[in-house]
A and B are shown apart, each in its own frame.
Chain A
């Protein structure tokens, strides 16, 4: 029986986290109580760009209940700490030292007995700023005479392997310039019958995980420190804290409760360094819980300005693609360089271009730092690429579906990097979406004559972080039940259930025999990160290997005890089989230990590389995300008001592990995409963020949903995934916005190139036409 045909235990839709979450008993960070904890409050910059000349906390210290105040003096003259940190470049400090670089940049923090005292004291800290002109737009920031956000940027000694070649360009605001080249772009354009040039814009947005960021830090008498944090990647945060505080990682213990949503907002250090610094100074446990406004100052999604030029042959063959992608990374690099790189890889879309020249730049501005956001740079480049695909189709009088199918990648095709693409069901996804959307048939005529309808499609390809590491362990107990040790953070995506299902299926035991321990870096093995939709593929595989390790140990015991050759034993249905015998796991353990007791530990590790270990070929991504989306919209001709009637999303998932989790990720990603497409944008006025709250920053609600969102999982198994599974978390978000804009153009002949697609933009577009 092939591995991908094996029955899977989570088919009935249960989730391990539901009982706790439905009854209000699931513990999130802010729900935990800690004796003796101080509450922290952060003083933040009111200006976008200024020198910090003077900080005086003497009045703050007089507030009753104040335990400690942390300012730049502690960073500079502190207890032997390394002032600079950051996941790619060391351009962040615990609090502002020389300059503040965005509104909301932390300047000082207070620990006090109560939150009220901490906030009161923070407001009594005197700070003298010397204003500098802020740069608020990437187009201004890349100009030669632009004011510099960072005068110098420090490079860490040991950075991420995949970003080693990326360096900031000195004396500019360009934090990264990643170049992707294939063929000869000039020759390519010269060979084309048609050349198209457009520019596209996406605004800064915010993840708005309903749970704001928070952290508790408590130093132990022996110098160790315990942290509880809302982080998606505790091991990366642990490394960063170890570097800042010059401690071995073994002395920093990070525990992660259930997260109330992440979507990329909780990767890399956020409030952890400041919480730990404050706890160190206060000599007391400290808790910082961010307010909603502070979350908007903590991390955002990259705004983008994209110039796209495409050459097409007379028969519609996509031939040459040039793109300049400017990504607004805000005041700190954060993970912006990788966002630029990932954005570049897919700026040519899932299409077979012969000549490619992509320049992706992440650029500093005086906005809050932009980081990871579900879709990671690809929702930006795909907005441009997939919108332009329809512009081209229209100009050539071609059907957008046919034109895509003519140019789309197939199994074994060569990617822009020169490597071959395997396990990419993008054609299948597009075909299934088109069928679901009844492509080729006109939309049903609306009953109201003032309304008009249209349909649109979009497709995508995206890479996952490579190389990366996932280690896992499982513990087999004397009764045959299993504890799973994984650092994959359950943030809603259903990973606990998927991981338990993989273990249960591999061992042949029922799901109710499996428990997943929460994340605790002192206990669970290393995992790089719960992001990049990598967990099922990488951690799932590591757990499959750990389970197989256990199976092998059990078979070895039986082989030795019964004098049967190892090869003549096998494991099936939770039993070790040899000759005519079938032994329960429990029996095998009892026989081995000689009594009811003992523990077996299975271990598994997955490390991916940029070189395929079997073929020696280059692999930019350990697997590829591919998918397609289709939208049908209805527009009010009098007002431009838009309603999405239907959306279909097809994602190549490799293999469905948990059907419910899969459906939730596909539909949920699409709904996040609708927010990005239709409503969300952070708005600045003179460097000040106008809408850091949920009244003025508009989120999609139940009433904004289409009547139907249809998830279509497509299964093209991947040889390295557990049971053939690939990651699914981000794919469905990406085609939403371009498919909606393409549907708008189909309906009213108005091409929207700037997100979000608002009624106002559609209305003005219709006005222009008439």
Chain B
């Protein structure tokens, strides 16, 4: 039994038929071929699956796709403007805020949501907001520098 849902994904409207038990992460990755968001822990702790729904970060591993019906979804693939990288992507590149890259999509989207809410966060606010994402390669210092540089720009 599938249900038709309509989402605005990275600015484009799309309709998909999904089983009601499918997670948003599964649908975005498998039906829409947007694989930037990753499955890491499957229990909304690690942040690798983070997507923005109506601009707010959610753990897409634990959100049902049907609950995103009629909503606006942003994935990492939607951050750049054509060939021009988003300022956060540029800053991550400049400061070396990634190694293996598995957490990167989640960090970028969470940081975007934070800066959209509060364009001038201080260090404590950044640490608190970004606390739901893990980087196992240990790029926290560079991530902090990258986010700060965008926040202060």
Q: Report which A residues bind B (CB closer than 8 A).
A: 13, 15, 17-18, 20-28, 30-31, 33, 207-212, 258-263, 291-292, 491-494, 660, 663-664, 667-672, 693-695, 699-703, 705, 709
Contact = CB atoms under 8 A, between A and B. Distances in A.
B38 A671 contact: no
A68 B147 CA distance: 49
B146 to A, nearest CB: 11
Contacts of B40: 210-212, 292, 694
29 contacts: A15-B93, A20-B101, A22-B89, A22-B92, A24-B76, A24-B77, A25-B36, A25-B77, A26-B101, A27-B35, A28-B102, A31-B35, A33-B33, A207-B136, A209-B100, A261-B99, A261-B100, A261-B136, A292-B42, A492-B99, A664-B99, A667-B139, A669-B138, A672-B138, A693-B41, A693-B45, A694-B134, A702-B130, A709-B141
Contacts, number: 156
Contacts of A15: 93, 96
Given A18-B93, A210-B38, A668 B138 contact: yes
A260 B40 CA distance: 10
Interface in B11-35: 29, 33-35
Interface string B93-137: 110101111111100100000000000000000111011111111
Given A210-B103, A699-B136, A701-B131, A21 B141 contact: no
A726 to B, nearest CB: 19
A694 B138 contact: no
B4 interface: no
A309 B77 CA distance: 57
A701 B134 contact: yes
The 3 closest A-B pairs by CB, nearest first: A24-B36, A492-B100, A671-B138
B150 to A, nearest CB: 14
Interface string B65-103: 000000000011101100001000100111010111111
A493 B99 CA distance: 6
B48 interface: yes
Given A21-B98, A664-B96, A208 B79 contact: no
Interface residues on B, range: 35 or more
Contacts of A13: 94, 96
A646 to B, nearest CB: 12
B132 to A, nearest CB: 8
A494 B98 CA distance: 10
Contact of B77 (A23, A261, A660): A23
Given A291-B42, A664-B142, A703-B127, A208 B136 contact: yes
A17 B99 CA distance: 9
Nearest to A705: B140
Of B94, B104, B126, B143, the most chain A CB neighbours within 10 A belong to B104
B64 interface: no
A30 B35 CA distance: 9
Given A18-B93, A25-B77, A209 B136 contact: yes
A671 B103 CA distance: 15
